[in-house]
Structure 1
Amino acid sequence: MNILHISASPRGPQAASRELSNHVVERLLARHPGATVTVRELAGVDEEPALPHIDAGYALALSSAANEPGVDGAQLRSDGLIEELVRADIVVIGTPMHNLTVPSTLKSWIDHVVRINRTMRPTPEGKVGNLPDRPVYLALASGGIRTGERARQPDFLEPYLRAILAMIGLKDVTVFSAEGLALGAERAAEGRARAWSQVERHFGG
């Protein structure tokens, strides 16, 4: 059992999304004690450099008909990230909402792994995922309220993540969400408690 834990917050271990995704991983390890966890930090924390964005060489390689595995640069990095994702039996993504959507570092990871003729393919009916489905857990954190009747901002985070993951074949998505974290200490505590309760209910704790 391989668990891929992706963390996108520049705040590192102190980030609410990282704390929430850590909690999800802990519950998964309680259910699968022998599992191996691979942590992929995207934002340049824990002495790991930030994931670079795709470059011109990568774009040119994608325009080729074969789209073969690369030998250097961003295409080689893309190959490695795709293989890391392919090996994962479970994926956990911890991310904050930045400017109504995903942080740029998570968008960079998406651009590396969502790759034509590798993780998805075009068909007359639209794009189809090449990856076998598997559980994906999204641990989301936002300063405001993004869901429900109290939402006061558009949400381009969860719908986008669901759509882009489905495009590569990953449709078994469960979302845990900590909201209102920038609305004062009391609202932040409520948001965290609600998110932790979502995790406990899901895993039967």
Structure 2
Amino acid sequence: MRELLLINASPRPKTSIGYCLANEMVEIVRQRKPGLIVTQRDLSEADLAPLSDEYADALTRRTPDAAPVFAASERLIRELERCDAMLIATPMHNFTLPAALKLWIDHVVRIGRTFDATPNGKVGLLGDRPVYVIVSSGGAHRGPRARQPDFLTAYMRHVLSTIGLFDVQFIYLEGLVAGEDAIKAAYEAARQRLTLEPLFAGRALA
């Protein structure tokens, strides 16, 4: 393993519980793999522009990848292509993913570049690799305490598989508005869950 891509989708990275956990996991991997390259993409500071008419037109005309209209998309896709594993820390906003993460997805899910359209549906062009998605939410959306739906998990799993990423694991930090004790309990449970994964348990570092 040579490179890890860390994506933050929280608008408040300095106080984000999920991003804090993600950084802790990255440090665990760094200690076991000193030569590891970590590429960090903070979507709260990325200033990505929404897809424009020019971008849409370029897609329909199958414009070359090197065209200026694809510059931001190419930069993000190359980061994704280089990494051997990806760690995404995202809040759940209004039952689904935040706008910043959706915009990143819009830039990296690109016909002819990260997927092809075939008579049998879309086929991903990227090689599979481990993806860990840390999802933070104020309320609960799983188990007997669930009081809200979760449209994030199914969407993320489907859209990532569209570009060839099938090895996707979700780790949840729920009930974060319930006070410090609830936050600590959720953090520790998520931390224990992650340390069972090969990447963070040190078994996938060769």
How well do the aligned residues superpose, as a CA RMSD in angstroms?
1.6
**Unaligned 5+ runs, structure 2:** none
Give the structure-1-normalised TM-score: 0.90
Q: Does 1:60 align with 2:61?
A: no
Give the structure-2-normalised TM-score: 0.90
Q: Does 1:167 align with 2:158?
A: no
Q: Aligned residue for 1:13?
A: 14
- Structure 1's consecutive aligned runs of 4 or more residues displaced over 3 angstroms after TM superposition are none
**Equivalent position SS for 1:122:** strand
Q: Aligned residue for 1:69?
A: 65
Q: Aligned residue for 1:141?
A: 136
**Equivalent position SS for 1:14:** coil
Q: Give 1:85 shift.
A: 0.7
Percent of counterpart pairs with the same letter? 44
Q: Give 1:204 shift.
A: 3.8
**Partner Cα distance (1:157, 1:31) in 2:** 32
Q: Aligned residue for 1:193?
A: 188
Q: Deviations over 1:153-185 (max 9, x none)?
A: 110111111111011000111222111101233
Q: Does 1:113 align with 2:114?
A: no
Tell me the matched-pair count: 199
Q: Give 1:31 shift.
A: 3.7
8 A contact 2:48–2:72 mirrored in 1: no
Matches within 5 A, 1:11-50: 11-44=12-45, 49-50=46-47
Q: Deviations over 1:75-120 (max 9, x none)?
A: 2110111111111111111111011111100000000000011101
Q: Give 1:143 shift.
A: 0.7
**Equivalent position SS for 2:14:** helix
**Unaligned 5+ runs, structure 1:** none
Q: Give 1:188 shift.
A: 2.3
1:88 counterpart (78, 83, 87): 83
**Equivalent position SS for 2:191:** helix
**Partner Cα distance (1:152, 1:194) in 2:** 20
Q: What letter matches 2:116 in structure 1?
A: R
8 A contact 1:181–1:189 mirrored in 2: no
**Partner Cα distance (1:27, 1:176) in 2:** 17
**Partner Cα distance (2:68, 2:113) in 1:** 17
**Partner Cα distance (1:176, 1:63) in 2:** 37
Q: Give 1:70 shift.
A: 4.1
8 A contact 2:90–2:134 mirrored in 1: yes
**Partner Cα distance (1:54, 1:173) in 2:** 26
Matches within 5 A, 1:147-162: 147-162=142-157
